[in-house]
Amino acid sequence: MKEAITRTDFNFPNQKNVYHGKVRDVYNIGEKLLVMIASDRISAFDVVLPEGIPYKGQVLNQIAAKFLDATADIVPNWKMATPDPMVTVGHYCIPFPVEMIIRGYLTGSSWRTYKTGARQICGVPVPDGLKEHQRFPEPIVTPTTKADQGGHDEDISKEEIIEQGLVSVEDYEKLEKYTKQLFQRGSEIAAEKGLILVDTKYEFGKVGDQIYLIDEIHTPDSSRYFYADKYEERFEKGEQQKQLSKEFVREWLMENGFQGKEGQEVPEMTKEIVTSISNRYIELYEQVTGEKFEKTPSNDVLDRIEKNINTFLEKN
């Protein structure tokens, strides 16, 4: 098993700064380009877990690149090139301070909220009598604030976003329209692969007056997928759905007494646990893309990444 890449500390020509997010290291090149390295870090409940997951960064980067290309006719996106399996380079955008989450089914955190008796999710009313994993009549958009490094994303309503001046009315209407169109396209692509795109999040930014789709899309970190073939049968029986997402990591943590709350400790991540998570990410890649995952050579990964980025920057 390849060694996980959990941090990078490069210094590229014209580099202004670097941001180490929960999963990605983002290098600002002269406020013209962003170099985004998908590390092998893994987070859950807004906590970066102590062990990296081999091949996870490659999986995320390559899925996102494919879906950015497959949705570029809906909204322009930030991607210019993928000079390395773990790297995307693209336009420097000013991000909106919200994440656009869209849900087609009542599951995950929305189900946990619903179980407490709440009948609104981010200001969107939801009816009584729903069951876990039930499909909404229409997908609902449930935004969150975009947390600073180390912070927690917070649920927020459309009305609050506009009232607080986080996004203008005109821009928010566009973000919601793009979110629904992207989710529809992602759902169609997933259906072709025997999957259901359950919920996902999108992030957007601006260059001048132009809105761009940024970051990743339709990856196991930002999305949840069910297998379609047994969905109805499992739902009717009240069984858990077989899913491809990061939810299985959250479930393992919860089973071991961790939900990111104060005083809780992350359970030991054994070699077996790490390998199983890595295998699940690779499985999701192959299911979502319909292609065999090609593991990149594990020798001198950091040197390879640095060399490939520098080669791209020299030409651009």
User: In this predicted model, what pLDDT tens digit does every residue of 157-198 receive, in sequence order?
Assistant: 999 999 999 999 999 999 999 999 999 999 999 999 999 999
Rounded distance between C-alpha atoms, residue 290 and residue 15, angstroms: 37
Q: Is the dihedral of CA 163, 167, 168, 171 positive or negative?
A: negative
Nearest to 118 by CA among 153, 155, 171: 155
**Sheet strands (E) in 96-191:** 98-106, 120-121, 124-125, 134-141, 144-145
Which pLDDT value is given to residue 239?
94
Q: Which residue has the tokens 């909106």?
A: 96
**Is the per-residue pLDDT at 249 higher than 80?**
yes
Q: What is the dihedral of CA 275, 278, 280, 283, to 10 degrees?
A: -120
State what percent of residues in the chain have pLDDT above 70.
98
- At 148, is the pLDDT very low, low, confident or very high (cuts 50, 70, 90)? low
pTM of the prediction? 0.90
Q: pLDDT band for 149, please (50, 70, 90 cuts).
A: low
Q: How confident is the model at residue 248 (pLDDT cuts 50, 70, 90)?
A: confident
- The pLDDT, as a whole number, for residue 244 is 80
The pLDDT tens digits of the residues spanning 84-141 come to 999 999 999 999 999 999 999 999 889 999 999 999 998 899 999 999 999 999 999 9
Residue 1: predicted pLDDT: 60
Tell me what pLDDT residue 152 has: 64
- CA dihedral (122, 128, 134, 137) positive or negative: negative
| Average pLDDT value over all residues in the chain | 94
SS3 76: coil
pLDDT interval class at 147 (50, 70, 90): low
How many whole angstroms separate alpha carbon 75 and alpha carbon 212?
A: 7
pLDDT confidence tier of residue 154, bands split at 50, 70 and 90: confident
Q: Is 11 helix (H, G, I), strand (E, B) or coil?
A: coil
pLDDT score for 232: 96
Per-residue pLDDT reduced to its tens digit, 73-96 = 999 999 999 999 999 999 999 999
Across the range 138-146, mean pLDDT stands at: 94
Rg of the chain over Cα atoms, rounded to whole angstroms, equals: 19
Are 224 and 250 within 8 A, CB to CB? no
CA distance 180 to 178: 5
What is the average per-residue pLDDT within 33-50? Answer: 95
- The rounded distance, in Å, linking the Cα atoms of 178 and 212 is 10
- Res 235: pLDDT: 96
CATH of domain 95-245: 3.30.470.20
pLDDT tens track for 268-303:
999 999 999 999 899 889 999 999 999 998 789 999
Reported for 251-256, long-range contacts at CB under 8 A and 24+ positions apart, including other chains, are 253/44, 253/45
